[in-house]
Amino acid sequence: MRTMYPEIEPYRSHRIAVDDRHTLHVEECGNPQGLPVVFLHGGPGAGLSPYHRRFFDPQRYRIVLFDQRGAGRSTPFADLTDNTSWHLVSDIEAIREQMDIERWVVFGGSWGSTLALAYAQTHPERVLGLVLRGIFLCRPEEVRWYYEEGGASWILPEKWQRYAAVVPPAERSQMLEAYWKRLTSDDENVRLEAAKAWGAWEGGGITLEESPETEASFAAPEVALSLARIEAHYFRNHAFLEPGQLLRDVAKLRHIPTTIVHGRYDIICPVKNAFDLAAVWPEADFHVVVAGHAASEPAIVDVLVQATDRLADRYC
Mean pLDDT (the chain, rounded): 97
At residue 267, the pLDDT reads 96
pLDDT tens-digit series, residues 37-76 = 999 999 999 999 999 999 999 999 999 999 999 999 999 9
At residue 151, the pLDDT reads 82
CATH H superfamily, domain 12-139+239-315: Alpha/Beta hydrolase fold, catalytic domain (3.40.50.1820)
Q: Please compute, for residue 267, the number of CA atoms within 13 A of its CA located in the half-sphere on the CB side.
A: 22
Give mean pLDDT, residues 207-226.
94
Residue type, 246: L
* pLDDT reading at 262 higher than 80: yes
Can you say how many angstroms the Cα of residue 271 is from the centroid of all Cα atoms in its chain? 16
Give mean pLDDT, residues 112-141.
98
Give mean pLDDT, residues 110-139.
98
Q: Is the sign of the CA dihedral 289, 295, 299, 304 positive or negative?
A: positive
Name the catalytic one among 110, 113, 226, 296: 110
Report the share of the chain in percent with pLDDT over 70: 100
Annotated catalytic, 173? Answer: no
Annotated catalytic, 14? Answer: no
Q: Answer for the pair 40, 15: CB distance below 8 angstroms, yes or no.
A: no
Confidence of residue 111 (pLDDT cuts 50, 70, 90): very high
Annotated catalytic, 110? Answer: yes
User: According to DSSP H, which parts of the chain are helical?
Assistant: 85-98, 111-122, 140-143, 157-164, 175-183, 188-204, 212-219, 221-235, 245-248, 272-279, 298-315
At residue 14, the pLDDT reads 97
Report d(CA 216, CA 222) in Å as an integer. Answer: 11
- For the chain, domain boundaries: 12-139+239-315, 140-238
Name the catalytic one among 67, 91, 266, 302: 266
* pLDDT reading at 150 higher than 80: no
At residue 273, the pLDDT reads 98
* pLDDT reading at 216 higher than 80: yes
At residue 206, the pLDDT reads 96
Name the catalytic one among 79, 226, 293, 296: 293
At residue 149, the pLDDT reads 77
